[in-house]
Amino acid sequence: MNAIEIRNLSKTLDGFTLSIDKLDIKKGFITGFIGPNGSGKTTTIKLIMNMLNKDNGTIKVFDREYKIDDLYIKETIGYVGDISGYMKEAKLKDIKKNIALFYKNWDESLYKYYLNKFNIDENKIYKELSKGQQKKFELIMALCHHPKLIIMDEPTANLDPIVRNEFIEVLQEHIEKDGVTVFYSTHITSDLDKVGDYLVFIYNGKIILNGDKESILESHRIIRGSKDLLDDDTKKAFISYKESSFGFEGLTSNHNVAYEIFGEEVVYDKANLEDILMYYTRG
Ligand SMILES: Nc1ncnc2c1ncn2[C@@H]1O[C@H](COP(=O)(O)OP(=O)(O)OP(=O)(O)O)[C@@H](O)[C@H]1O
C-alpha cells in the first residue's frame, strides 16, 4: 500500500493549472517534493490535506479518501504548513492543549522531550518566538500525536543553516524511531542531499521527474564540451544545455546514451539536485 495515491488530479486557479496524472508516495520512506517558486507544491499539498477542493481526480491517503474517512486521515497526518494557523497571541502551552485534544495518540512525554531538546519554553507567546523556534514548535506539534504520515510544506524556508540542520536532525531521529512516511516540499535542494529516499520534481503544475534519489543522481550527468559537437541530433541527448564562448554545458538523464554519442570527446560530471532542478526548469 502507498501512503499517498493520486490519480488524474487537476485544479485550476487564476491562470495556473495543476495536473497530476499519477503520483504514488511510498510508505515508510522520505519523499522530497522539489520545484521552483510557483510550480504548484503548495497547491498539491493543500489538495492532499483537503484544504483546497480539487476539480477532478482522486487522492487516497493509506487507501482512504476524504468525505468518507476524514477523521482517520486527519489523525494519520502530521502537518507543517507554510504558515501556521495558530493564534499568534496565545501561549504555547495553550496552543498545545487545544491541539492535543484532537488526537487520541497525543504523547505528552514526547512533547516535553522535544520542548527540552529544542530549548523552547511553553510559557512563551507564539508570536514572541523567533521564526526558527516557531517552526520547531510546529514540528513538535506535528510529531507528538505519532502520525503515520508527515506532510510539510517548505518547512525549512527562511531558516538559517544551523536551525535547518537541527530541524532535519530531529525529523530524522523521529523517523527512525516511529518508522513514518514523510512527504515534504522544498526548493532548498541541499536539505534533500542529507535526507530523502525518493524525489518528485514539479514544474508549471506538472510532475517532470519522479524516482528514487540514488537512481536519479546516478543516471544524470553534466556534460561539457566543444560547441562543434552540437548539432540537431546530438542536442537531443540533453534535457537542456547552454552555450558560452568556451563551449557548451548540458544535462543528460542517461549517461550511457550520452557516452554512446560523445564518447571520450566531452567531460562527464555528476549532477547534484540543484543542477538537475535547474536544467529541467530552464526551458
Ligand atoms: N488561491 C489562489 N488563487 C489564485 N492563484 C493561486 C492561488 N494559490 C496559488 N496560486 C497560484 O498558483 C501557482 C502555484 O502556486 P503554489 O503556491 O502551489 O506554488 P509553490 O510551488 O508552492 O510555490 P512557492 O515555492 O513559491 O511556495 C502560482 O502561480 C500561484 O500564484
Q: Are 239 and 279 in contact (CB under 8 A)?
A: yes
Are 206 and 245 in a shared domain?
no
Phi, psi of 145 (to 5 degrees): -105, 20
Q: Are 38 and 55 in contact (CB under 8 A)?
A: no
End residue of a domain, out of 189, 215, 241: 215
Q: Retrieve residue 138's grid coordinates.
A: 510546529
Atom from ligand 1 closest to the CA of residue 52: 1
What's the ipTM?
0.92
Are 183 and 271 in a shared domain?
no
Atom from ligand 1 closest to the CA of residue 205: 14
End residue of a domain, out of 183, 215, 247: 215
What does the pLDDT average to over 124-144? 92
Are 228 and 255 in a shared domain?
yes
pLDDT in tens, 61-96: 999 998 888 888 888 999 998 778 788 889 999 999
Atom from ligand 1 closest to the CA of residue 44: 18
Phi, psi of 71 (to 5 degrees): -65, -45
Q: How many domains does the chain have?
A: 2
Are 197 and 243 in a shared domain?
no
Q: Retrieve residue 222's grid coordinates.
A: 553534466
Are 232 and 124 in a shared domain?
no
Are 179 and 249 in a shared domain?
no
Give the binding-site residues of ligand 1, using a 6 Å CB cut-off.
Answer: 13-14, 16, 35, 37-43, 187
CA of 34 to the centre of ligand 1 (A): 14
Res. 110 pLDDT band, cuts 50 70 90: very high
Q: Give the Cα separation of 173 and 192 in Å (integer).
A: 16
Task: Assign residue 27 the CATH number of its domain.
Answer: 3.40.50.300
Are 236 and 188 in a shared domain?
no
End residue of a domain, out of 193, 215, 237: 215
What was the pLDDT predicted at 283? 66
Q: Retrieve residue 69's grid coordinates.
A: 474517512
For 53, the domain range is: 2-215
Are 160 and 181 in a shared domain?
yes
Are 169 and 260 in a shared domain?
no
Q: Give the Cα separation of 45 and 153 in Å (integer).
A: 7
pLDDT in tens, 238-265: 999 999 888 999 999 999 999 999 999 9
